[in-house]
Amino acid sequence: MERAAGARLSPGISKWDIRQKIWDYMEASNLADFPRPVHHRIPNFKGSFLMCHCVQKWEAFEKAREVKVDPDKPLEGVRLATLQAGKTLLVPTPRLRTGLFNRIVPPPGAAKVTLRKCATSQGVRDFSVPVELDANVRVDLVVVGSVAVSEKGWRIGKGEGYADMEYAMMVSMGAVREDTVVVTAVHDCQVVDIPEELLGEHDLTVDYILTPTRVIRTGCARPKPQGIFWHKVSSETLEKIPVLKNLRWREKQAGKDVTLKEERTDVPAVSELSRKARVVRPEGPALRNESSKGHASPRDESAPASSDRLRELSSLFVGNIPPATRVSEFKAVLRERHSTPAHLTWQGPQRRAFLHYRDSSAAEVAMATLQGLSLHGCTLRVESAKAQCKKTSSGP
Strand partners, 204: none
pLDDT confidence bin for 239, thresholds 50/70/90: confident
Q: What is the pLDDT of residues 202-217, one digit of tens each?
A: 899 999 999 999 999 9
**pTM of the prediction?**
0.70
Amino acid at 183: V
Provide the CATH number for the domain formed by 272-394 in this structure. Answer: 3.30.70.330
Residue 33: predicted pLDDT:
94
Q: What DSSP string runs through 108-127? A: TT--HHHHHHHTSHHHHHHS
For the beta carbon of residue 360, count every other beta carbon within 10 angstroms.
12
Domain ranges of the chain: 4-217, 230-263, 272-394
pLDDT tens string 139-196: 999 999 999 999 999 999 988 888 898 999 999 989 998 899 999 999 999 999 998 8
pLDDT at 250 over 80: yes
Q: What stretches of the chain show up as alpha helix (H) in DSSP?
A: 15-28, 48-53, 59-63, 76-84, 112-118, 121-126, 162-172, 235-240, 242-253, 272-277, 298-302, 307-310, 327-336, 360-370, 385-394
CA distance 291 to 285: 16
Residue 389's pLDDT band, with cuts at 50, 70 and 90, is low
**pLDDT higher than 50, residue 290:** no
List C-alpha distances in Å: 199 to 3, 15, 50, 194, 307.
21, 9, 31, 9, 35
* 26-35, 161-170, 236-245, range with greatest mean pLDDT: 26-35
At 41-95, the pLDDT tens digits run 999 999 999 898 889 889 899 999 999 999 999 999 999 999 999 999 999 887 7
| Per-residue model confidence (pLDDT) at position 313 | 65
The domain 4-217 having CATH identifier 3.40.50.1820: the answer here is no
Closest among 181, 187, 188 to 204, alpha carbons compared: 181
